[in-house]
Structure 1
């Protein structure tokens, strides 16, 4: 089969690597980079760290408002799909690249596969939640990272073409952690921190960076924690800090974004991780590092329920209390599979290649009850 894989942002590069290796043993994969993340530190270095093949197409869309960015991706991706005529399109996660890939494939009647389907924060103010909902509604095959995601889809009436395969990000940790640990000593020495003697923080969600009160609350919480904090600063976050004139405390190592291997090394040796990133929450769980999530909700409630993740929002007091008192209880159940999700995905595509719209039909069991009496709403 010819498969077009759409990527555009950091988590998608990580997810793409194990899947690409598995697919290319027996399929022709065409890798399309939308350019959503275009900074070298957010894009090129990931391809190098992950040994990902260079994209066959780089759409060069860059940043911008959601509508304009997504629309430009769709226009350029449509040209690629017309030219390549793939048998299916793969999207992953919840970015604007995911949304653009899903909409463009559906408009051209190309079977769509969504990796990381069924994740829900139940917060529609998050642009990522809209992207998830649309991609899952359009997908012909849904590959879920947890059993909970399968249940979410079932509650929305999506029960066919749904597979619990595990998390390809766990595949990536299995594959790349040894290399990351090799470079850890030099990296930590350069940053002036010791293994287990620092916190690792990331902040990039628009809900946090675009609201000066929330971003100030996070930084004030960091300031009140008397422990070294390594803080790779996302370009959007750096711009917001400068725009709002927010100070960064001296004990916070505000560094440029790092590549995948360096990030994995920093995560593995941190005493605790503070983040608003879904991917970093998962990596913290894989590595057994306590995590404080700088949001009021998460798609990964399983990690909260088993005691390895705590939601602290952006209130400085809650952040400090989490730092002071949060201690995971012990074992980590295998919520995200066994690290061989990509192999399962490749096997399913080999055995049951999807057809466009194959599960989109009237089914008596999925139809809502008919309302026998529907009255006009009276005017008050």
Structure 2
């Protein structure tokens, strides 16, 4: 069974790592399953991609399509053209895509047009907000996928509601958490931790990159003003995304407790999160990691495709109105935050379930 695995952007790398390790394990035990790793190059900043291969012990890609930059349409087209050539030169039985980035959608379309089966890891998650590019990517990918690997019963039901047959849905858990649990003991203290006098549970981690929060200068200033004013002077550590930096660096935003740092690698960033008082973010993946680590998380979004982090975990969805920050931080500082729990099957075994399922499908149906 020849599998082509796609990685394109930072979140993908955490998701493919345990799958690659699970394939290597069954291969060492005599299975004929093999893989070819393709990096589309969607994220081309070394800080945003290459370090993840090094830290997570992922082999260097068999091919880098180098499709970084451009508009959504330009990037989608570039990935499709390059990936079609890749598949024609290197035939595959199955294309495995993860998450919801442009590469996920583009490579799925190419595979299906070449009559190659597609497996989607993290299928079925929905924000129900079609203004988000990621939502379009999810909907298109799941409309043509053959095997749906899901993180929650909510995702399962979303797929059923869209007409996906039950036998194509496999509730396996969350591969992001596989990576988190495997590497937790390896988390590395950033060099600035001591320099800035940081202490466990006595600082806030901030990340922002979504257009609704960072593309309009006035809105970004308002958000930052509220966060700074209501942080009780705790250090705010802001690893700034390149997209955000382009706008932020032209604004006069500064405070004694605000520390702008470069994007961090996986091990350093999660050390920072694990020891934080709280995280303020507009990321989806970080809400999953904070849930498992039991760290309070404040999400600056009007919707989430990961409702289990709110319903079960430590995440609170407060919207994009800056005025919601003050009462939320007051709740945090009076120690009134929910304890949270860990969603079903977020146990570090999702990738093993995925590989076992693919082997079972092949043995029963000889589909690959």
TM-score where L is the length of structure 1: 0.89
Q: Is 1:269 the equivalent of 2:278? A: no
**What residue number does 1:343 align with?**
352
**What residue number does 1:169 align with?**
176
Query: Deviation of residue 58 (structure 1)?
Result: 0.6
Q: Following superposition, which runs of at least 4 residues in structure 1 exceed 4 angstroms of deviation?
A: none
Cα distance in 2 for residues equivalent to 1:282 and 1:354: 33
Q: CA separation of 1:190/1:18 partners in 2, compared to 1, >3 Å: closer, same or farther?
A: farther
Q: Is 1:297 the equivalent of 2:303? A: yes
Cα distance in 1 for residues equivalent to 2:40 and 2:254: 33
Q: CA separation of 1:273/1:355 partners in 2, compared to 1, >3 Å: closer, same or farther?
A: farther
1:211 to 216, 237, 240: 216
1:147 to 153, 174, 180: 153
**What residue number does 2:20 align with?**
20
Q: Is 1:353 the equivalent of 2:362? A: yes
Unaligned ranges ≥5, structure 2? 28-32
Q: CA separation of 1:174/1:64 partners in 2, compared to 1, >3 Å: closer, same or farther?
A: same
When structure 1 is superposed on structure 2, of 51-60 and 203-212 the one drifting more is 203-212
Q: Is 1:193 the equivalent of 2:198? A: yes
**What residue number does 1:367 align with?**
none
Query: Deviation of residue 119 (structure 1)?
Result: 0.4
SS at match of 1:117: coil
Query: Deviation of residue 44 (structure 1)?
Result: 1.0
Query: Deviation of residue 234 (structure 1)?
Result: 0.4
Larger Rg: 1
Query: Deviation of residue 355 (structure 1)?
Result: 12
**What residue number does 1:328 align with?**
337
Q: CA separation of 1:229/1:335 partners in 2, compared to 1, >3 Å: closer, same or farther?
A: farther
When structure 1 is superposed on structure 2, of 300-309 and 90-99 the one drifting more is 300-309
**What residue number does 1:34 align with?**
40
Query: Deviation of residue 236 (structure 1)?
Result: 0.3
Unaligned ranges ≥5, structure 1? 359-380
2:246 to 232, 235, 239: 239
Cα distance in 2 for residues equivalent to 1:46 and 1:171: 15
**What residue number does 2:2 align with?**
2
1:43 to 46, 49, 72: 49
When structure 1 is superposed on structure 2, of 322-331 and 77-86 the one drifting more is 322-331
Q: Is 1:60 the equivalent of 2:66? A: yes
**1:84-109 deviation digits (Å, cap 9, x = unpaired):** 10010011101001111111111111
Cα distance in 2 for residues equivalent to 1:124 and 1:38: 26
- Count residues with an aligned counterpart: 354
Cα distance in 1 for residues equivalent to 2:345 and 2:227: 30
TM-score where L is the length of structure 2: 0.92
